[in-house]
């Protein structure tokens, strides 16, 4: 079992281009690799130009005639938040561009699995599409694209997942991670890729006078950035400079009260104030409720929530998603208890596994990804969780730690054991696969072996990287607000985390598992409120002095705002 340690980031040289910022922001940005002012310029004019996205011109050669001729276009999505937001974006944007013959199809994960499979093509044929566009999938759909081609239906693949050695024979492939694609950002989510395609389509339609011919206003594509922000954050892709611009403007729309009714309803149900929404709210509150549809039932309802124009109907759909999310949490809790028993029962010789694989035939296929994340966080090990699939098959969901590229690790295993996988795919930090149930033990051994080869002992130690100590006189509400505005923060651009020693003035238990504290910085008379979630079991009694790693938060109660420290980790100081 790993132990969390607080480790301060190595200070980096601060570029002169950051000289106009406060000393704190200069330090924070430098610690995150920012060297030029343009990297923190959030204006949309700084977005990477659309024309640099490889595959776009080929896609437009198919898309422009399809729109011009009123062809039936079918979007085939994925059953997670990125796939749902991509489908919703496509539905709304095509209509805004003046094309009404647009529909979507999202595979039910329990019946069809992931991606454009031949079975999904058969289902799609009942809609009689003239063109299929995949979103957030398709780069590995060789058989599905072949089946569509055989049926006379061209396919445009828009995806961001890492490709295999062979690519599908699609009419166009738009994927920044595809071979030969020189797009400067490889971090676009699926919804970001489609947004770029739609920007290109708007430009192409403008050039041919489409909007004048249709007597419609040319749409402002920024109206869809709340959806793009949600999908980007929920898919946990790196928030590089380009993604931060997309997310920043999406959050700005939400804060200004211009969110889609479905997003507004999900925020309201989650008790998040839209006027102060942060990227983390998308990841921890909105995304999971949207994902619940795909995990427990069918993502169609989640997509309908996002595209619904009537606020009352959107609220009804959001309520159903919230109910499913409550069910998901109950299922997850039971599965987590099972996993803890399985880990406790491991033979001593297996207790030091580097790569952890668990399988229970009773586990819910739609929740194994969340369980993999929970076990990964607990053990700080790469983890694969399996559940029953079709007869004789099991499906796995993998989560990784820094330094272990999970998709590449699966590729290594597939080359060592060519017959082990039915299929696999994913990212650096998350992946999915299907194997025979009888091969579980072989896979588990192979996975642990590759993890041992690639991970050092230091990498297996969970470390909280801190931005250092903040002087007591700088801990203020204004500072917390400045940090909020300096975001968005997220994957590969982490929210500022600080550390220090504090005297415990008082504490009370809230919600059974959380400590609500009043702290005093060592050597100061100032007192500050703090919250430490799920720490009562670890600290049934509070020590007099704590060392903590914390983030600055703004607490609002009865219309008043105050500074609050959100504690990520704490330990007693002797």
Give the tens place of pLDDT for each residue, 198-246: 999 999 999 999 999 999 999 999 999 999 999 999 998 999 999 999 9
Q: Which residues of the chain have pLDDT under 70?
A: 1-3, 347-351
Reported pTM: 0.91
Q: What is the pLDDT of residue 348?
A: 53
Classify the phi-psi angles of 209: left when phi > 0, otherwise alpha if psi is within -120 to 50, otherwise beta.
Answer: left
Q: What is the pLDDT of residue 1?
A: 45
Q: What is the pLDDT of residue 164?
A: 84
CA–CA distances in Å: residue 393 to residues 177, 399, 430: 29, 20, 20
Measured distance CA(544)–CA(517) in Å, rounded: 12
Q: What is the pLDDT of residue 255?
A: 97
Please state, as a whole number, how many other Cβ atoms lie within 10 Å of the Cβ of residue 213: 11
Which residues lie below 8 Å from residue 39, measured CB to CB, with a gap of 6+? Answer: 29, 241
Beta carbons of 214 and 98 less than 8 angstroms apart? yes
Q: pLDDT tens-digit profile of 502-513?
A: 999 999 999 989
Domains and their CATH numbers in the chain: 49-321 (3.90.1640.30), 346-460 (3.10.310.30), 466-572 (2.40.50.460)
Measured distance CA(199)–CA(327) in Å, rounded: 38
Q: What is the pLDDT of residue 351?
A: 53
Beta carbons of 290 and 234 less than 8 angstroms apart? yes
**β-strand 528-532 against 560-572: which pairing, if any?**
parallel
Beta carbons of 285 and 270 less than 8 angstroms apart? yes
Measured distance CA(355)–CA(370) in Å, rounded: 17
Q: What is the pLDDT of residue 3?
A: 62
Q: What is the pLDDT of residue 5?
A: 82
């Amino acid at each position: 079992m790993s132990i969390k340690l607080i480790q301060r980031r190595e200070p980096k040289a601060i570029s002169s281009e950051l000289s106009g910022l406060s000393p704190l922001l200069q330090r924070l940005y430098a610690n995150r690799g920012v060297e030029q002012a343009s990297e923190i310029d959030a204006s949309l004019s700084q977005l990477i130009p659309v024309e640099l996205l490889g595959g776009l011109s080929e896609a437009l050669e198919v898309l422009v005639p399809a729109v011009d001729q009123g062809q039936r276009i079918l979007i085939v999505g994925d059953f997670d938040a990125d796939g749902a937001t991509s489908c919703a974006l496509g539905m709304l944007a095509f209509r805004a561009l003046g094309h009404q013959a647009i529909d979507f199809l999202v595979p039910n994960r329990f019946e069809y699995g992931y991606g454009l499979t031949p079975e999904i093509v058969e289902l799609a044929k009942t809609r009689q599409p003239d063109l299929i566009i995949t979103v957030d999938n398709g780069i590995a759909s060789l058989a599905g694209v072949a089946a569509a081609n055989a049926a006379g239906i061209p396919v445009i693949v828009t995806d961001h997942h890492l490709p295999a050695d062979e690519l599908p024979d699609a009419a166009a492939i738009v994927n920044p991670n595809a071979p030969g694609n020189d797009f400067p950002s490889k971090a676009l989510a699926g919804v970001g890729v489609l947004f770029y395609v739609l920007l290109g389509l708007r430009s192409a339609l403008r050039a041919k006078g489409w909007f004048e011919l249709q007597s419609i206003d040319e749409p402002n594509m920024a109206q869809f950035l709340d959806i793009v922000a949600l999908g980007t954050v929920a898919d946990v892709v790196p928030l590089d400079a380009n993604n931060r611009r997309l997310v920043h403007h999406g959050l700005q729309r939400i804060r200004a009260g211009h969110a889609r009714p479905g997003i507004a309803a999900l925020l309201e149900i989650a008790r998040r104030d839209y006027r102060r929404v942060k990227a983390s709210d998308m990841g921890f509150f909105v995304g999971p409720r949207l994902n619940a549809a795909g995990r427990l039932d069918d993502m169609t309802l989640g997509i309908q929530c996002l595209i619904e124009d009537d606020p009352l109907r959107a609220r009804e759909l959001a309520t159903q998603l919230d109910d499913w999310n409550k069910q998901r949490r109950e299922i997850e809790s039971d599965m987590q208890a099972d996993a803890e028993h399985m880990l406790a029962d491991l033979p001593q010789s297996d207790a030091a596994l580097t790569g952890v694989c668990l399988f229970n035939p009773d586990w819910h296929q739609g929740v194994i990804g969340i369980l993999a994340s929970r076990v990964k966080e607990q053990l700080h090990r790469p983890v694969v969780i399996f559940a029953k699939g079709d007869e004789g098959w099991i499906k796995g969901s993998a989560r990784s730690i820094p330094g272990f590229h999970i998709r590449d690790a699966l590729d290594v295993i597939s080359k060592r054991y060519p017959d082990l996988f039915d299929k696999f795919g994913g990212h650096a930090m998350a992946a999915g696969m299907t194997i025979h149930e009888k091969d579980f033990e072989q896979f588990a051994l192979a996975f642990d072996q590759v993890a041992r080869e690639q991970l050092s002992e230091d990498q297996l130690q969970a470390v909280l990287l801190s931005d250092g100590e903040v002087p007591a006189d700088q801990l203020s509400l204004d500072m917390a607000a400045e940090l909020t505005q300096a975001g968005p923060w997220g994957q590969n651009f982490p929210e500022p985390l600080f550390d220090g020693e504090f005297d415990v003035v008082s504490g009370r238990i809230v919600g059974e598992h959380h400590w609500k504290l009043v702290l005093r910085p060592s050597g100061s008379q100032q007192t500050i409120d703090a919250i430490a979630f799920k720490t009562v079991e670890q600290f049934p009694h509070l020590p007099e002095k704590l060392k903590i790693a914390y983030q600055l938060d703004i607490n609002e109660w009865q219309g008043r705002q105050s500074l609050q420290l959100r504690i990520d980790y704490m330990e007693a100081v002797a």
